[in-house]
Chains A and B, each alone.
Chain A
Amino acid sequence: MDVFGSFALILAFICAVYAFGGGIAAILTRHPLLIKSTRQAGIATCCLIFIATFSLEYLFFSDNFSAAYVVSHSNRALATFYKIAALWAGQEGSLLFWSFLLSIYVFSVLIAYRNKNGELMPYVGVILAGVQIFFLTLNNFVASPFKALAVPGANGAMDLVARADGNGLTPLLQYPEMVIHPPNLYSGYTGFTIPFAFALAALLARYPGEKWIHLTRKWTMIAWGFQTAGILLGAHWAYAVLGWGGYWGWDPVENASLLPWLTGTAFLHSVMMQEKRGMMKVWNVWLVFTTFLLCIMGTFLTRSGVVSSVHAFAQSSIGSWFVGFLAIIFAVCLVAYFKNRDYLKSENQLDAIVSRESSFLFNNLILLVSCIAVLSGTLFPVLSEALSGSKISVGAPFFNKVNIPIGLLLLFLTGVGPLLAWRKTSAESLRRNFAGPLIIGVLGGTVIFALGYRETYSLICFSLCFFVTATIVMEFYRGAKVIRVRSGASYLTSAIELTLRNTRRYGGYIVHMGMVLIFIGLAGAAFNQNVQKEMQPGSSMQLGKYKLVLQSFDSKPEANYTGLRLNVEVFVNNKPLMMLYPERRIFETNGETGTMVAIYSTLREDLYVVYAGQSPDTKLPVIHAYLNPLVKWIWFGGVVVVFGTLVALLPNRRAVLVLSGAKQPAAEPLVHGMTPSVTYREGHD
């Protein structure tokens, strides 16, 4: 099966090269058969990558320990569930998984548009094939996942061998979230290839109008939704598994996932300016290009370790491949832009400072500043060494100092932007739309202050959360009221109907609401507490209102590991509340340990208990307990964001109009000579 997989990958590479080269010839000659054959080569490439990926999974499921990758990342006792995740546990498999997910997108695009957009699709096909060629080059020639296990033989040649069992999967990945977090994040990274391909294709083909934006809106949202879910699942994994009580540490790999999310979010907003007013065309094209470049850079940072260990970079072959690919993409984008920049001429200019356009502009600017700050902070060791010869890294204070105010500004714009009118907003409109939410924001902030939460940024954040929530609720209320008057349905039913009639707009509001919930959770971090104590059975520690009593500790052998478990009883006001079981797992195959954090989570706070190890002197267990307020809101907010994204992806339900008799002749004949009194259209006013 490993030979089969290798062969499929080689064939996929050949097909991709044909789809690329033949595609360019097809664009030049416009020969219909050539266009068709290159498209089919693109589809064949995807199918072959699917086959290769399933072959590798088969090697895991069949415990084939003659394959080096399987030996490194699996063992017989590994649960079936984790044998799926073992696919992306290492370098080679991750890169194949990248190709696999990209192929799902490419396959879907090539099939969905096979008879549409004839002018654009040959360009799209070539660009997608180009990206696939890069990853297939890595899969075939740089980091093949199908290498056989071999040891040096007596005559100096390598002898193929098979092991009885493998090394096992690293314990950090033996956690359910690790089965869903990487696919989500990778689906985000790979998904941005589609809007990139369409944007570049439209620029190269000088494709008229904003059609490429309409075509890619859903693909962009799908990629953005996956990226968001991936980032939050990663944060949750770090929180629940790493045992340090936090969910975001500004680690290079975390930052790598955030960067394309920031520019992708900016793009999702700024395209509305292009659709509505024909503005920001250059900006939008470069935002998509940048987002894709950052996706590749994110994969490069994750895979190469260039930042965490500067010395490994020069010796790592994978890093130079990525740098080369990034340079090629950037050069192609630059040439395409300079060649066809007249095609991107703006049709309008900003009319007023207080307008929807300016709110989008500021939103974009702030997101971009955040992106630059995170990128420069992440690459600071590399940049500082190049500029001054000293390798300097920056830590959490740098990222927090810049990004907390940026986050608050964005939160403010989340409330303000949707209520501002296009072109210009009058003072009367400002007063009408914002007076209520402002009062609610100030009152909410005052209540929070009175409750004793007095950290400045958190207080501002809570006030803004009240303000934004009020603006969103007001928007739903106003729209639902109109429908309610006509249909007589309840407010809730009317709000659902309203959402389904303009999914993009109201789905967007749901996403905004999810972001508000996430911000509430983030604001809670200012009030975290923790305590660490060596405990003997019967002893206790106090943390906030909770008293933790260590009842006992034991050791339990399992199939793949031995679990050292603490039995901790939690009391509130001296009344027993529950038992918690923080655990350390010792994995037999590689001697690594795994921390299983015990969390009692409520909307108010998380009680987070870690078995931190044994005291070297007394051999007694050491418990590190954290009290983290409002963390649950982050995960709940993430669910709401994903739900909102899904709603925004739904097609608009055509309004079932209450038709009234026409007093004037209809422009076009309608059923029974009626004309609608209200016109509904797809949009995002």
Chain B
Amino acid sequence: MWSRSRGRGVKKQAKFGIGIGVIVVSLGCLAWLGYGESKTYYHTITELQTLRGAELSHRIRVGGTVAPGSIHRFTGRVDFVLEGEGKSLPVSYVGSDPLPDTFIDKSQALVEGRETDGRFVAEVVQAKCASKYEAAPGGTVATPSTATR
């Protein structure tokens, strides 16, 4: 009697195991597909200039500060220059969404796209919301000098 009920318990656990396994494996496959579709390599401006061969064909995300006075709007694209670690990167934004309101001179921005002939062609531009993120000490977000009274 005891062994029969135990046997039933094991069978039930096996059924649960199979059900859970099917769900997890299916979702894992979907996650893998999604990963393949959307993976983006994060590089600094300096690293970008050292990329070679297949690395350049990846979708790339680069962060930096928008150089003052570099934003120029043209029909169908917006050009600007990102600066970081003493280097600069000319960027053309060709995406269809309007640029975020926080995208202004000296703002911290992340661009996503690919490098083509020395110019970064971005499909996505994100500008950091200054209220949400702490600027790195010594960063470019202007904050008043402070001292504890």
Contacts and interface: CB of A to CB of B under 8 A. Distances in A.
Interface of A: 2-3, 6, 68, 71-73, 89-91, 144, 146-152, 158, 160, 170-173, 242-245, 253, 302-305, 308-312, 315-318, 349-353, 358, 361-362, 365-366, 369, 373, 381, 390-402, 405-406, 409, 530, 532, 534, 591-595, 610, 612-617, 624
A318 B139 CA distance: 15
B61 A311 contact: no
A72 B144 contact: yes
17 contacts: A68-B146, A172-B101, A305-B132, A308-B110, A308-B126, A308-B128, A309-B110, A312-B135, A362-B20, A365-B20, A390-B41, A393-B42, A400-B34, A409-B23, A591-B104, A593-B104, A624-B97
Interface residues of B, number: 60
Contact of A353 (B12, B75, B130, B135): B12
Contacts of A592: 101-102, 104
A89 B131 contact: yes
Contact of B101 (A146, A309, A595, A624): A595
Interface in B124-149: 126, 128-139, 143-149
A311 B44 contact: yes
A254 to B, nearest CB: 11
A396 B31 contact: no
Contacts of A71: 144
The 4 closest A-B pairs by CB, nearest first: A401-B34, A398-B34, A305-B133, A391-B42
Contacts of B108: 309
Nearest to A69: B146
A610 B98 contact: yes
Interface string B88-107: 00000000111111101000
Interface in B18-46: 19-20, 23-24, 26-27, 30-31, 33-35, 37-44
B105 to A, nearest CB: 8
Interface of A is mostly: mixed
B113 interface: no
**Max count, chain A CB within 10 A of own CB: residue among B12, B128, B131, B135:** B131
B38 A349 contact: no
Contact of A152 (B9, B72, B145): B145
A309 B128 contact: yes
A147 B110 CA distance: 31
Given A160-B147, A616-B74, A91 B134 contact: yes
A302 B132 contact: yes
B130 A170 contact: yes
A616 B41 CA distance: 32
Given A170-B131, A592-B104, A615 B144 contact: no
B146 A149 contact: yes
Contact of A392 (B26, B42, B131): B42
A242 B100 contact: yes
A402 B42 CA distance: 23
B64 to A, nearest CB: 10
A302 B133 CA distance: 7
A349 B9 contact: yes
Nearest to B133: A305
A417 to B, nearest CB: 15
B15 interface: yes
A402 B149 contact: no
B99 to A, nearest CB: 8
Nearest to A349: B9
Given A350-B16, A362-B19, A395-B38, A532 B27 contact: no
B39 A394 contact: yes
B119 interface: no
B29 to A, nearest CB: 9
Contacts of A244: 97-98
Given A172-B131, A315-B138, A391-B42, 18 more contacts: A3-B149, A89-B131, A146-B149, A147-B146, A147-B148, A150-B147, A160-B149, A170-B102, A170-B130, A171-B101, A245-B97, A349-B9, A395-B38, A397-B37, A401-B33, A405-B27, A530-B96, A617-B74
